[in-house]
Amino acid sequence: MKEGEKVKVKVKMTGNSTLSTPLVVTLSQPAVAEPAAESTDYSGVPATVTIPAGAWFQEFEITATGDRILEESENFDIEATANIGVTVSTHKTTLTILDTTGLNPDNRVITLSVPAGKETETVGLKASLPDGVTTEKAILVTLDHMLGAAGNTADANDVVTMPPA
């Protein structure tokens, strides 16, 4: 599922025979390996689902929260447990939330800005993503001195604090 999307989840009996009495299915969310979704990344998972008498399934809807964070796809598990007579039946499924922020190339543009400065004055270089876009992991920005490039009037002595290329 993609961020911002809703999906229907079907809790069903094996086969297609209907129930003579309602069946309460308990839903839990066990921990998953990284990259794990946080509880704020989705909503809509109820604690229980009741499959009505005469039916063989029940549905509920999950919404993946849209955000403006550049991140990996994230996983979460839903485990369903039901007592059917003296038998306890458990089934687990994994859902993956796909990052949609990173799919838009405009959200991956890094803008470099340097305030005006005078010779011998130290100025800071700022690298930023578009307004409102953040990232869950650091982004490595590699700079090139571009000495001798067209329009570059600086020489190696002008840029003393920049690490070598």
Read off the pLDDT band of 102 (50, 70, 90).
Answer: very high
Model-level pTM? 0.75
Q: What angle do CA 59, 77, 15 make, to 5 degrees?
A: 45
Phi first, then psi: what are they for 135, rounded to 5°? -140, 150
Closest CA to 68 of 25, 102, 30, 116: 102
Alpha carbons 58 and 53: distance in angstroms, whole number: 11
pLDDT in tens, 155-165: 666 665 555 55
Alpha carbons 7 and 60: distance in angstroms, whole number: 8
Question: What domains does the chain contain, in order, with CATH numbers?
Answer: 6-102 (2.60.40.2030)
